[in-house]
Amino acid sequence: MINQINRNHWIYIIQNLISMIKSNLFLFIIVLTTKKGIYYIAAIIILMIGISILNWRKTIFYINDDLLVSEKGIISKSKEEIPFNKINTIDVGQTLLGRIFNIFTMKIDTGSAVAQKSELKIISNYKVVEELRKIILTSKKIKTNQSNEYIEKDIVVPIVEKVITNREILKYTLTKNKLGWAIGGFFLLNNVLDDLAKFFNTSFSKFISKNMNVDFIKTKTIATSIVILIGFMLFLYILITILSIIFETIRLYNFTVKSDKEKISISYGLLNKKEYSFNIDKIYGLRYKQSILQQILNIYTVEIITIGYGDEENENALLYPIAEDNFKNEFIKKLLPNLTFEGELNKPPKSSLRRFILKKLIIWLIILIPAYVFIKFIPSNIKLSIIILILCSSLILGYLNYKNTSLGVSKDSLIASTGAFLKTTTIIRQDTLQSITKKQGIFQKMGKVCDYKIDLYSNTLGDIIHVKHMDENVYEKLQQNLTL
């Protein structure tokens, strides 16, 4: 079936139409201001529907020998041939709408440096998508010595399979970094309050100012104000955690990672189901990410570094959401032995601690002192409480950044750790390193320390790791093991 000419599912027409309307929304607004704006808009939409149908009709895909061929174009036609052995990742997803119509979206990536998105997207039913995925990933054509014919050899021999448990999802949700949730929740709450204020013809800021007992707040000591602020932050954290548990339980539902000697396959999701596969030889590195709580508990989120996946918005090559040392020993050491580090880790000298702390502390003081002077509507004890909390947090994060920073090179791999609030440890294969640059400022030279800039071979242009305030002599140690 896949060897014949295939077209995307008809829902492709609707998706293409929605995309065209979104990109021309500003034009619609302008046209709507004219006398016969509605008629013009109706005519434009009819034209867009016709273009979408023609685009669907002229977009085809099929297999020709070991090539996946795609042809498209209404006036100017293009033909793309993708060899199977050049395909890095296959991402198969199913949205809620897709479940209703039983269709899947398959994204093919080759890791092209030119393309900033998936080379090919296919929207079709399960039978077509699964057949194509099996042809590309689970079979190889091998030429025998006895004849010139090709035979198909099945290479699917699962050796590792892990399914996430509810306990792991809960642990992940309770310990993950929720700063993004807090910021998003703040803006969402602000928008909801604005909409309610317009509906009730009132202002919440005026209502709060009118009903808030400012004199009561002013009488409180700085210590009491700090306790109140911490209590409010704790309440907000609990609320965000409850919402996060619901969201992550749906998102990571039945998270399963399988592997054989050739590839790693991952699938998860309750409403929006997602599946993607990586050839093991196309995995160039791993990232271990840890929030503050995860650092304390020695658990981490593991992501894959590869070419061809992660170049689109919200794409994330997640290997496992919440992993412990057992996951390293039982899974990664078996499948990715070149991405396990066994060597000397170099840490910043103790004299660098003040560099990690003072820079951020000075920046915060430059911001907070004018804010304290010019912001009049907030009571002084509240302002001082906020300043003390921020400065204490800055000191703690500066120390954590110093503690978490490290750099090392072994025979096969390089490891680099940075970050405070979110610690990121990157292990990269030596043969995929682009460069290591040593940078040293005037004051760093006086302290005999320097920064290292590590350029990675990954999907993101300019994917660079900055390791700061390391001993300048570390560079010589690195050179002894580097194979650049």
Q: Which of 61, 80, 99 is the last residue of a domain?
A: 80
The closest alpha carbon to 466, from 405, 408, 412, 397, belongs to: 405
pLDDT value of position 338: 78
User: Is 483 among the domain residues?
Assistant: no
User: Is 330 among the domain residues?
Assistant: no
Fill in the DSSP letter of residue 6. B
H/E stretch holding 469: strand 464-471
User: Is 59 among the domain residues?
Assistant: yes
What count of other Cβ atoms lies within 10 Å of the Cβ of residue 93?
Answer: 16
Long-range own/partner contacts, residues 393-401 (CB < 8 A, 24 or more apart): 394/357, 394/360, 394/361, 394/364, 395/357, 395/361, 397/360, 397/421, 398/356, 398/357, 398/358, 398/360, 398/361, 399/353, 399/356, 399/357, 400/292, 400/295, 401/356
Contact 15, 56 (CB under 8 A): no
Backbone angles phi, psi at 340, to 5 degrees: -115, 130
Amino acid letter at 335? L
Q: Which domain holds residue 65?
A: 1-80
Task: Locate the DSSP E strands across 50-192.
Answer: 60-64, 67-72, 78-83, 89-94, 103-109, 120-125, 139-143, 150-154, 160-163
Determine how β-strand 464-471 pairs with β-strand 449-456.
antiparallel
Give the Cα separation of 58 and 52 in Å (integer).
10
pLDDT value of position 190: 55
Token pair of 118, please?
């998936």
Backbone angles phi, psi at 445, to 5 degrees: -65, -40
pLDDT value of position 154: 42
User: Is 213 among the domain residues?
Assistant: yes
User: Is 105 among the domain residues?
Assistant: no
H/E stretch holding 279: strand 273-279
User: Is 240 among the domain residues?
Assistant: yes
Contact 327, 320 (CB under 8 A): yes
3-state helix, strand, coil in the chain (%, to 5): 45, 25, 25
Give the Cα separation of 424 and 408 in Å (integer).
14
pLDDT value of position 38: 86
Q: Which of 23, 49, 80 is the last residue of a domain?
A: 80
Dump pLDDT digits (tens) for 353-405. Answer: 988 998 888 988 999 888 888 887 777 877 888 888 889 989 999 999 999 99
pLDDT value of position 253: 92
Please, which residues bridge with residue 413 across strands?
429
Q: In what order do the strands lie in the sheet with 433-439?
A: 433-439, 449-456, 464-471
Length, in residues, of the chain = 484
User: Is 231 among the domain residues?
Assistant: yes
pLDDT value of position 424: 93
Token pair of 364, please?
């915060």
Q: How many domains does the chain have?
A: 2
The closest alpha carbon to 255, from 319, 170, 163, belongs to: 163
Contact 159, 144 (CB under 8 A): no
Residue spans of the chain under pLDDT 50: 113, 140-158, 214
The closest alpha carbon to 343, from 470, 434, 438, 478, belongs to: 478
User: Is 244 among the domain residues?
Assistant: yes
Give the Cα separation of 460 and 264 in Å (integer).
21
Token pair of 33, please?
């201001």
Collect all residues with Cβ–Cβ distance below 8 Å to 324 and sequence separation of at least 6. Answer: 298, 299
Q: Which of 27, 54, 80 is the last residue of a domain?
A: 80
Q: What is the DSSP string of 394-449?
A: HHHHHHHHHHH-EEEE-SSEEEEEE-SSEEEEEEEEGGGEEEEEEE--HHHHHTTE
CA 267 vs CA 90, 111, 330, 383, 410: distances in Å: 12, 21, 20, 48, 33
pLDDT value of position 418: 93
What count of other Cβ atoms lies within 10 Å of the Cβ of residue 84?
Answer: 16
Token pair of 20, please?
């065209």
